[in-house]
Amino acid sequence: MRTSHSCGVWLPIFAGLCASLVSIGLARFAYTPLIPSLIQAQWFSANDVVYLGAANLVGYLIGALLGRPMAHLFGNRNALRVMMLAVTAAFFACAYPLSVSWFFGWRLLSGIAGGAIMVLVAATVLPHVPAARRGLASGAIFLGIGLGIAGSGTIVPPLLTLGLQATWLGLGALALLLTAASWFGWPVDIAHAVASHATSADEPTPPGVYLLFAQYAFMAAGLVPAMVFLVDYVARGLGAGAHTGAMVWVMYGLGAIVGPVSYGFLADKLGARTGIRLVLVIQAVALGLLAVSHSFLALAVLAVILGSFPPGIVPLALARVHELVPSHHRQQIAWSRATVSFATFQALAGFAYSALFNASGGHHTQLFVIAAGAIVVALLLEQAMRWLPSRVETRCTAN
């Protein structure tokens, strides 16, 4: 049964926003401003802190793989509730640095929860939203990611004045509050999901879905450098100092807040396919300009544009899945695989860029150029898909 009343529509959307805020926005991005304090307080060595940060990305990939099996066991609504509780427990557990393995395990668990929630949250909420509003609704759901990025620069510093342990406990309390606020907002699971599987199992997967998987993977590779190295590039690479770096990160967070809703609106108005093309062109240009820009104004504008991309492409890619795949069950499968594709390339890119950065002696600009290249590849893949069938047909005709 689809919800028609406006309050009934927005309550599940609010629950989805809370889930993305807790599991991705806070669990992943609040860790970044904690890194210097973790090292200074000698909780862990600098190498261990980086290693612990990677645990969340690895967990995200695992969670993307386990999301649908969890939903089959517990139902979407219960699985989402359990995953939000898992992230909350991880925040509280990280307040006690008993060992590296203890911390790694909880960071891994928070990543697993984030990946599972990313797979399940839209599939749980969007069937209850009118089709004409789904782009905007998905943007509102994933607005939580943007709020987390922005919140990482505003909530964490005041908490750190109370101490590192108090910061983790404060994040846990916030996650618990958001979990409780969303607890009864989740809609009832769609009862006919299994039936749709029986009717759609033999339907071929459209080629556009595989194209989306590939594009989404290269998007993941393209967003990592700005997401990870932007502040360091401004502060140390350009010699502008930590304060200017922090201001640029605030602008990045502002873009992250605007991105999901604006990209979702774009999907509703222009269609996801056209929206993806437009966004990829803008992002490729922005990354290229970032490699040669030095003024604060230019960096601030570019930070807003680049910040809109990580959370913004999620509702765009999801809208594209809905354009290509008709049945709800197959949409879930396609979105799960798209998330796995994204998570895999994001994790691989994270390690590859870090290795390249160290090998180059801390050369930031080449990372941004490579990222721009990844976005261009994502943009050209669609043209390649059009070219290949025509080449095959030409050869067949000639033979």
Residue 355 sits in a domain whose CATH number is 1.20.1250.20
Last residue of a domain, one of 162, 189, 216: 189
The answer to whether residues 98 and 42 belong to one domain is yes
Q: Which domain holds residue 55?
A: 1-189
The pLDDT value recorded for residue 200 is: 47
The answer to whether residues 279 and 174 belong to one domain is no
- Judged by DSSP in three states, 157 sits in helix
**Structure confidence by residue, pLDDT tens digits, 4-27:** 445 567 888 888 889 989 988 888
The answer to whether residues 24 and 171 belong to one domain is yes
The answer to whether residues 394 and 357 belong to one domain is yes
- Domain for residue 102, yes or no? yes
Four-CA torsion 240, 242, 246, 251, nearest 10 degrees = 10
The answer to whether residues 171 and 274 belong to one domain is no
The answer to whether residues 169 and 218 belong to one domain is no
Q: Which residues contact 53 (CB under 8 A, 6 or more apart)?
A: 31, 32, 35, 107
The answer to whether residues 167 and 219 belong to one domain is no
Residue 285 has pLDDT above 90, yes or no: yes
The pLDDT value recorded for residue 4 is: 43
The answer to whether residues 165 and 217 belong to one domain is no
**Structure confidence by residue, pLDDT tens digits, 170-211:** 999 999 999 999 898 888 776 544 444 444 445 677 778 889
Is-contact 342 217, C-beta < 8 A? Answer: yes
- Domain for residue 196, yes or no? no
Instruction: Please state, in angstroms and rounded to a whole number, the distance separating the CA atoms of residues 298 and 316.
Output: 26
Is-contact 218 377, C-beta < 8 A? Answer: yes
Is-contact 38 107, C-beta < 8 A? Answer: no
User: Which amino acid is present at 94?
Assistant: C
The answer to whether residues 210 and 147 belong to one domain is no
Give the E-state strand segments of 215-369 in sequence order. Answer: none
**Structure confidence by residue, pLDDT tens digits, 321-379:** 888 887 777 877 888 888 888 888 888 887 788 778 878 877 888 889 999 999 999 99
Here the tokens at position 47 are 């190498």
The pLDDT value recorded for residue 196 is: 45
The answer to whether residues 32 and 101 belong to one domain is yes
- Domain for residue 199, yes or no? no
Last residue of a domain, one of 155, 189, 223: 189
The pLDDT value recorded for residue 253 is: 85
The answer to whether residues 180 and 223 belong to one domain is no
Nearest C-alpha neighbor of 35 from the set 149, 162, 164: 164
- Domain for residue 146, yes or no? yes
Tokens 């602008």 appear where?
251
**Structure confidence by residue, pLDDT tens digits, 108-132:** 999 999 989 988 888 888 777 776 6
Task: Output the pTM of the full model.
Answer: 0.77
Last residue of a domain, one of 189, 219, 249: 189
* Mean of all residue pLDDT scores within the chain: 82
- Domain for residue 197, yes or no? no
Tell me the CA distances in angstroms from 51 to 55, 58, 185, 362, 384, one per residue in order.
7, 11, 36, 18, 37
The answer to whether residues 228 and 317 belong to one domain is yes
- Domain for residue 346, yes or no? yes
**Structure confidence by residue, pLDDT tens digits, 39-56:** 777 788 767 776 777 788
- Domain for residue 195, yes or no? no
- Domain for residue 131, yes or no? yes
The pLDDT value recorded for residue 388 is: 57
Instruction: Please state, in angstroms and rounded to a whole number, the distance separating the CA atoms of residues 124 and 128.
Output: 8
User: Total structural domains in the chain?
Assistant: 2
